[in-house]
A and B are shown apart, each in its own frame.
Chain A
Amino acid sequence: MALAKITSIKGSGIHVPGDDIDTDRIIPARFMKCVTFDGLGEYLFHDVKFDQEGSKKKHVLNDPAYNDASILIAGSNFGCGSSREHAPQSLYRAGFRGVIAGNFAEIFFGNSINLGIPCVSMSKANREKLIKLIDADPETEINLDLEELRVTAGALVLPVEIREDARSSLVNGMWDPLDELVSTSSSVEAVAGNLFYR
């Protein structure tokens, strides 16, 4: 099945403040007791949103104004910590289709691209402009354009960066590499056969 070509993401945004948001914060480990990823969306940022009694904390993630947000705006080193794909899976299942941050932890970045979630880097100064805009009007439409490598929102036009291999996989609809990996089986066998170990 051909994959969708992901050339741009359009939607409203939400800003989750803080640098070094780790995967335990994105999805606490206790919710990883599952054998499928279905249903993970519900637990996204669980402990950021709820206190120990299960009551909603005062947090932007609980603000109904941002209910429809599909683009997450975060600080630097987003997604550090565990290699768990549960983190981007829960983002995706909660309706997020793109992430704008200062930069990303490597494994999280790769996992997200494999699911077709573009993760782009934007300077702090520009993120602040964007955040100001959505704070003023949460419904502002953000257009994350992977062909022009820019984000437009209201009157703002802001440059973003993403690793070229990731960008090209997304815009060419090849972000899931499995079919390509399967197609080279004879070269794989040759490399395996030449190795000094079995």
Chain B
Amino acid sequence: MTSKNLFQKVWDAHSVGTLANGQTQLFVGRHLIHEVTSPQAFGMLREKGLPVRYPERTFATVDHIVPTNEASEPYSDALADAMIKELRKNCEDTGVTFFDVSSGNQGIVHVVGPEQGLTQPGMTIACGDSHTSTHGAFGAIAFGVGTSQVRDLLATQTMALNPLKVRRIEVNGNLASGVYAKDVILHIIRKLGVNGGTGFAYEYAGTVFDDFSMEERMTACNMSIEGGARVGYVNPDQKTFDYLKGRPYAPTGEHWDLAVDQWKSFSSDHDCKYDDIVLIDASEISPTVTWGINPAQAISIDESIPTTDGVNPTEKESIEEALEYMKLEGGQPIKGTPIDVAFIGSCTNGRLSDLEEVASLIKGHRVKEGIKAIVVPGSQIVSKLAQEKGLDKVFTEAGFEWRNAGCSMCLAMNPDKLVGDQLCASSSNRNFKGRQGSPTGRTMLMSPTMVAAAAICGEISDSRLVFNS
């Protein structure tokens, strides 16, 4: 038998056949949906008179539009209210399981899937959301798709796709203290560029990924799409299995052992081929911050904001555009840039371990006066576990607001938004123009710990110095 990588194995196991245009019809084992990209798909299905073919394989949650400081319905935003009601009705009508707000299981779709044990190795997973790559942390092949494909999946549980090439990205060595999974992925994107991953799945490996917890692997896989790769994954190992054991949708009893055997078989073979291999030395990576308007425009906390000296004309244009929008000056240190807002949350960094890490550091510190700092757990379960550990108190005592679960200030579809040209230190994943709700709002991406350091100092700061780590 020829050896294969995980992507090829999962692809082959789920391939239904070749379509007339040469694309593959791929079976998708788990389909996750949310309120923004699914209502139109249900509408198209109704128009065509098609039923949901495998409702037991689709799971829904609501995340983008939920207000994080308003619990009762109807929501004061009529459009948001219409969207949650539409999703609820579509799920009721078709038999799709919905982790509704009242269930205690609601949250950001990429936090909920793993937490419920829905995300498992060797699966194909799809969701009408680009950060579906997160689920690759478990050794699943997980695609972000558009609404027409959500429709295709509801109607057939399959979609038309082309296979991807696979690039193995190995990060070896030891990360310095104060350097997190977020810094690793920002560093990778900085090195390979925002479209370096086009046409590729990224296989993350090396001692750094071996040592990462499942939540750290999720943080890295989450941002594959920011590097242009539609899919990112880590080969499953004992940590993966331990994480899944006992979760609501994980196999139980004798099915568990059988499943683990299957899961192991999906790992990339030792002698398999890759289309590309990139090696990264962990010691190169420092706490990293974006200064521009795409996630590759990132530098380490000790560096200065780039100038246009000696760069090619295309790059010059993009640096100038970014500096103008960000109201920053090339050549200045990034450290010391004043901020207005601090946001800890999102599907990149809104999990329990993120909140625990920050809470363990901020005791005795206070958010600087005039800075708005919010902490938004990625799911109701994260919120509950954090509260059981008293983390909410640690945050509120330090001057952070503690909110309900949702996407919140990661994007502008709920009341949490930047105002005017406010600058936000953010643990989310996108720093595009206008991303956080104000057309002139400014975003700097960084790890949650760096966000906390910025909140406390009122300016971009080296968390290692602020917290003496």
Contacts and interface: CB of A to CB of B under 8 A. Distances in A.
B434 A168 contact: no
A103 interface: yes
Given A33-B65, A192-B27, A181 B194 contact: no
A187 B130 contact: no
Given A106-B198, A184-B17, A192 B157 contact: yes
Nearest to B321: A18
A174 B439 contact: no
Contact of B149 (A105, A114, A191): A114
Contacts of A103: 195, 198
Interface in B15-29: 15-17, 19-23, 25, 27, 29
A32 B82 CA distance: 12
B22 A164 contact: yes
A168 B128 contact: no
Interface stretch (B36-44, B283-291, B392-400, B452-460): B36-44
B48 A81 contact: no
A165 B162 contact: yes
A35 B43 contact: yes
Given A106-B199, A107-B230, A81 B130 contact: yes
Contacts of B199: 106
B413 A33 contact: yes
Interface in B50-66: 50, 53-54, 56, 64-65
A37 B19 CA distance: 28
A47 B130 contact: no
Nearest to A87: B146
Interface stretch (A22-30, A132-140, A142-150, A153-161): A22-30
Interface in B180-200: 194-195, 198-199
B430 A81 contact: yes
B439 A28 contact: yes
Contacts of A29: 64, 411-413, 435, 437
B96 to A, nearest CB: 15
Interface residues of A, number: 62
Contacts of B157: 188, 192
Contact of B21 (A22, A24, A82, A172): A172
Contacts of A118: none
Chain B, interface residues (CB within 8 Å), range: 35 or more
A188 B29 CA distance: 11
Interface string A104-120: 01110011001100000
A105 B198 contact: yes
A28 B412 CA distance: 8
A115 B83 contact: no
B413 A37 contact: no
A70 interface: no
A181 B25 contact: yes
Interface string B302-327: 00000000000010011001000000
Nearest to A32: B36
B79 A85 contact: no
B27 A178 contact: no
Contacts of B17: 184, 187
Nearest to B54: A192
B15 A191 contact: yes
A52 interface: yes
Contacts of A178: 48, 148, 151-152, 155-156
Contacts of B40: 35-37, 85
B432 interface: yes
B440 A52 contact: yes
Contacts of B413: 29-30, 32-33
A188 B433 contact: no
30 contacts: A20-B194, A22-B432, A24-B434, A34-B83, A35-B86, A51-B439, A52-B438, A52-B440, A83-B37, A83-B128, A83-B144, A85-B146, A85-B147, A89-B147, A105-B198, A107-B225, A114-B148, A165-B22, A168-B20, A168-B22, A174-B21, A177-B21, A177-B23, A178-B48, A178-B148, A180-B20, A180-B160, A188-B25, A188-B156, A188-B157
